[in-house]
Structure 1
Amino acid sequence: MIVKVVNINRHNEHPLLALCKPINEYSIFVQTVRKWKAIDPEHGFQKAVEECIAHNILREYLERKTKEVINMLLAEYNYEEDIAVQRAEEREIAFAEGIEQGIEQGFHKKAVESARILKQLHCDTAMIIQVTGLSKEEIEAIG
C-alpha cells in the first residue's frame, strides 16, 4: 500500500489548500497556534482559538469544541513521555502479576501445610481434598 503524505503548511502553498476549505482553515489554525504559542506560551492556545473564531477560521467547530481542542493542544504527543508511560504501565502489570502469583503460592503452601496436619490426624483423603482444595495426587505426595 502506498500512502501519499501532503504537507499542508501554508508556506508550501499546496493546491489542496485551495481545493478544500476545511484543510485550508486547519492549516491557518495551526499557523495561528504556532504564532500565539511563541508570543504567549502560557495562554497561546486560548488566544489562537479566540483569534480563529474572530476571523471565521473553523469557527463552528472551535465554538463547539474549544475545551477539547485546547486540552488536545496541551497534551501534545511526546514520544519519550509516551514510552516512559508505557514502561511504567508494564512495570505495574508485572508487579501486580508478581503479587498475584505470590498470593497463589502462599495459598497453595498453606493448603499443603493444612493437608499435612490433617493427614497426621488420620483424616480421610476425601475430607482433606474438600478442606484444602488440593488434588488426591498432591495429598498422597505429602510425606
Structure 2
Amino acid sequence: MKKTDDFISRLYEILSKEELRTGRPFSIIYFSDHGQVHKLNDGKILLNNNVASKFHYDIPLIKIDSDNKDLRLTLSSEKSGLNFTEGLANWMGIRNPDLLLYDLFDGKKDPTDFGLKRKIESIKTPPDPAIDLSSHLQ
C-alpha cells in the first residue's frame, strides 16, 4: 500500500508540474484489483484474498482531480464492474456508438446490479472488513 501511495504521490507531482507548464488540468483514477479484506498472521496485517467474503466486492475507486484540489467528496454509490469499461472510456473522453455514456463518479447507484447483490447476500462467511492502517504508515 505504501508503494502505491508513493507512486500516486510522485505521479501527482509530475502531472502538477506539467499542468503549471501547459495549463492542462489532469485527473488520476485508482482502483484496486481486489476487495478490502485482511487477516492477522503472527501480528502482521495481510491481504486476505483466499476466503470468500462480502468485502471482496467492496473495491476502492478513487479519482484525484486537479480542478478540485480543495474539494474532498466521498460517494457511496454502488457501481458494477460490468460497466467499468464504459466508465473508464467516459472518463478518458472516448466516444463510440457501441459504448454507453456511463459516469463512475456521478454518485448514482447503477440501475441494475446484474444479480450481484443476491450473490453477495448469499455469502455466509464472517465479515472481514477493511481496517485503518494510517497509524502503521510513516
For Structure 1 versus Structure 2, the TM-score category normalised by the shorter chain is under 0.3
Higher strand proportion (structure 1 or 2): 2
Higher helix proportion (structure 1 or 2): 1
Q: Which has the larger radius of gyration?
A: 1
Q: Which of structures 1 and 2 has the larger relative contact order (alpha carbons within 8 angstroms, sep 6+)? A: 2
TM-score of the pair, normalised by structure 1: 0.21
TM-score of the pair, normalised by structure 2: 0.21
